[in-house]
Amino acid sequence: MSSLRNHRVIIASLFLPTTAVPGESSPPTPDIYARAIGATAATQDLGGRPPAFKHASSRSIGSSPAPLKSIVDDLKSRAITPISTPPSELNPFSKFASLAPSPAGSISISPPSIQTIDASLAKFQPDPLHPVRLQRRSSSKPPRHPVRTHSYSSTPSEPYYFAPNTHCNGGLKNAVESVKDRMTTKLWVGTLGNSTDGYSTELKASIDRRMKEMHSSLPVWISDAEFESCYDEFCHQVLWPCLHYAVPDAPKTKLFFESAAFKQYAAVNKRFAEAIESVWTEGDVVWINDYHLMLLPLLLRQSTRVPALACAPIGYFMHVAFPSSEIFRCLSVREHLLRGMLGADLVGFQTASYARHFRQTVSRILAVEALPKGIQVEYGVPGGAREGHGRFVDVGVFPMGIDVGALRERRREPDVSYWVQLLKQRYAGMMIVVGRDKLDEIQGVKHKLEAFELFLKKWPEYQGKVILLQVALQTTESNELAAGGVSDVVARINSAFSTLTYQPVVFLHTQEVTFSQYLALLTVADAFLVTSLREGMALRTHEFVECQDGRHRPLILSEFTGSYSYSGFRSCIAVNPYDAHGTAKAIRQALTMSDEEALSRWEDLHNHVVTQTAQTFVTSFLTRCLRANTEHTTQTDLNAVPALNTTLLLPRYKHSSRRILLLDFEGTLWRSDMSRAGLLAPFVPPEGAIELLNKFSANKRNEVWLLSGLPIKSLEQVAEKAPGVGIVAENGCFAKIPVQNGKGGMWISMVANLNLTWKGLCVEILNYFTERTPGSFVEEREASVVWRFWTGPTDDCSDRQWARRQAAEAQNHIFDSLGERYGLRIIPGSNSFLVLPNNISRSTAVGAILHPGGPAHSPRSSSMPDLDVPVNGGGGEAGFVFAVGGDEKLLRRLNELDNAETVSTSGKGTDARWKLGAEDVGDVMWLFANCP
């Protein structure tokens, strides 16, 4: 993260964290404190989907034959004696709390000063006062004032004030705020979330200036009609259902397959590109967020206004799920969206399965090579500065988390303790199952209620003893109508099981609950229930786990959430939300679980929560983005690398008392026959290369190492004819010590402590693909496996395209089924790919060679368990380190040595200090070999 201190991060998201509201700023109303302690995750559980601009009445959900009672009405109808009463002007429950006097001697709990409230957590409840861009049905609740700052105006008749934007991605905002001490400079780019057609030019200019000065934000001005078509129609009615496996049933599919709103979607993305172009400077990192801006990465790469953006570090992160190719291919604009995303250096997802779906979708729809690490885009960026060059797009997994430290601070506030005690008294003797979901169909609220109803029927002894307390987030109008089914189920449950003193289902709305009350609910819960039909990282489960520190009650989690895909969350009680009987059984299991088992499960969950935090998410994504950009940009211009200057290097070589030579075998000293017959023929050491190696090793000042990917049995022939040369075999899996003064000559295994049983499974998979790929064959070696999927002509014929598609499928299959389990990595080539253990490479082998302990100390031998040996150790003992080859990772590491000269023979873009044509290698090497 320290590298980010030298970069400004431009964060592009549809909505800014702060909005400008027209009107005079008035003094806070009595409920300001309650609103100021809003939730940290108002929208982070929505997978980046912002809430609707205006919500329906909080008194009920849709239309219901029986009104649903909120906790306010529920508690108000039962006069109880609270433990203590906060000041009524700061307490939204003061109406019911004041019905009974406080006990004698009770101490009033005073909330902390409003000035000390963390602004990053002040966004739980919706803000009815914001001018809405999309008109929804009006709220029947009296309006509340948002948390306001000072008033400003461009003219006396146009005052405005700033307030937290309730539409922004709360999880992203809080994650960025959690690293504000390390991300020193940033700039948010997005819309205000208000209707802006009536804003004058002077007002917009004033807002632009003050937003940049006070909130590090750049508003993007979009007409209301254009934004409405993009956001409400294309984003919510086309992209959102597709990404969550909710393809509409025929015949209601015309909008989904042929949406005219894509033009407005593209126009909004274009506006964002223009805004970023106006502020981008050299060194800025662009971070694009979510499905609203899928076209933006490519638009920036194609910029003619700022050509340097073609090489800028650009990262794109998808906050929601990504479906399988069979779903995504239904979109008529699928290619535009995929190509837009591939304009980034790095495309990030919440889980490995979403990343895999993306790779497979790109491979099958765009017919490009999809590898476990990312996508090889052969066509480059059309119209951009890199046109004509292939480029590689990294695809990574970055699970979002919560700011654990900030949440712990909030839990320690006095008002949280107050509501915990109040809830314990109110529901004394009862068990509470808590849920918090948006009323979207994919959130599975109806499935949850039906399972709870079945639970009460199957185990009637829990009637009157267990309640389901459901917090409902605001939603769009269409989803409110769809929620009528939820309303019916709630009414049915309450009418069937309610008594004078018991109501089984209590519905809460976010505008009725402050964040402190929400934390209190999580603290007193006996179980937390999530039944999403499809979701990314359910961050509300992280909040529940942290709030259960001290109680350790279980989590019931849908197996269709992204959180469940991580090993730490496998200690939850997993449910299939479509199986009501299984979910009902899980509820009973949670309520009857022993304290010992609950503690064991909670510890596993908590370890994940405190490890995969918001800080980890931001730092890992941006660091990987910078690294990916560095790797990509260095491979675009070979002309910038100077040709090897022997006049300059030969004197240094001559006058060095000790020299280490690291020479690649294949592709540098020896050009093998890549035809099928040549590959299958027995290996014969090339005489010219053997003669050159012996000439180098004959000089006592030289220590010569031959770096190869060939197996030991082939390189043994080289060792016999050139005994004074050290050899690295199978790309770093084995190393042979050179014979010096009659000593050495033994082979050392770098993989002695590794489990190699994966080879049999890998060969079995490759045999399956070999049967379907004409001319291909498998090479099984001592510690690695090679699949030669193409041995024909190098022209891009249809058969070779098919072979490459099969190779991409095979690599993905191996990576998904064996990669994580056995710790494997895959090195792709133009006509083959290599599978070998993680952290084993020529680079690590050279690290061991240059280590002060000497080459005999293998990083995988029993004498040296440490694998990643620093390359700047023993290399300092040599006056001259000379590396010639095509391994970019090795050349990049050796560049860290002051006494190293690196030469690339790959003919591609490189980080090496020099380049050398393959046809010139022999002549140049003999110049050095003939020097004394």
Query: Which pLDDT score is estimated for 107?
Result: 37
Cα separations (Å) of 579 from 189, 533, 562? 43, 11, 19
Residues ≥6 apart with Cβ < 8 Å to 675: 791
Q: Which residues contact 737 (CB under 8 A, 6 or more apart)?
A: 726, 744, 745, 746, 748, 855, 856
**Is the distance from CB of 515 to CB of 569 less than 8 angstroms?**
no
Burial call 587-611: b when 16+ CB within 10 Å, e when fewer: beebbebeeeebeebbeebbebbbe
Q: Which of 351, 323, 355, 817 is nearest to 566 (CA)?
A: 351
Residue 598 near residue 549 (C-beta atoms within 8 A) = no
State the pLDDT at residue 447.
Answer: 93
Residue spans of beta strands (DSSP E) within 652-765: 659-664, 702-707, 726-729, 734-736, 747-749
Q: Are 633 and 311 in contact (CB under 8 A)?
A: yes
- C-alpha angle with apex 163: 12 to 293, nearest 5 degrees? 20
Q: Give residue for tokens 């389990």.
A: 821
- The pLDDT of residue 908 is 75
Contact predicate 197/169, CB 8 Å = no
Residue with tokens 């409840």: 125
How far apart CA 453 and CA 584 sit, in angstroms, is 8
pLDDT in tens, 251-274: 455 555 556 789 999 999 999 999
Amino acid at 264: Q
Query: Could you count the other beta carbons within 10 Å of the beta carbon of residue 243?
Result: 23
Q: What is the C-alpha separation between 742 and 727, in angstroms, rounded?
A: 17
Residue 733 tokens, joined: 């899996």
Q: What distance in Å separates the CA atoms of residue 441 and residue 577, rounded to the nearest whole number?
A: 12
Closest CA to 523 of 600, 427, 592: 427
How much is the pLDDT for 138?
A: 33
How confident is the model at residue 439, as a pLDDT?
A: 82
Reference 84, options 57, 61, 110; nearest CA is 110
Backbone region of residue 193 per phi and psi (left: phi > 0; alpha: psi in -120 to 50; beta: other values): left
Q: Specify which residues 836 forms β-bridges with.
A: 825
Give every CB contact of residue 66 below 8 A, 6+ residues apart in sequence. Answer: 491, 494, 495
Residue 908 φ then ψ, to 5°: -120, 175
Cis peptide bond N-terminal to 399, omega within 30: no
* 756 backbone φψ class: left, alpha, beta (φ>0; ψ -120 to 50): alpha
pLDDT tens, residue by residue, 527-542: 999 999 988 888 999 9
pLDDT for 257:
53
Q: Would you put residue 593 in left (φ > 0), alpha (ψ -120 to 50) or beta?
A: beta
Residues of the chain where predicted confidence (pLDDT) is lower than 50? 1-2, 27-149, 250-251, 380-389, 477, 480-481, 636, 856-876
Q: C-alpha angle with apex 401: 395 to 404, nearest 5 degrees?
A: 150
d(CA 659, CA 495): 88
Per-state percent for the chain, helix, strand, coil, to nearest 5: 40, 15, 40
Sheet containing 785-788: give its strands across: 777-780, 785-788, 832-837, 824-828
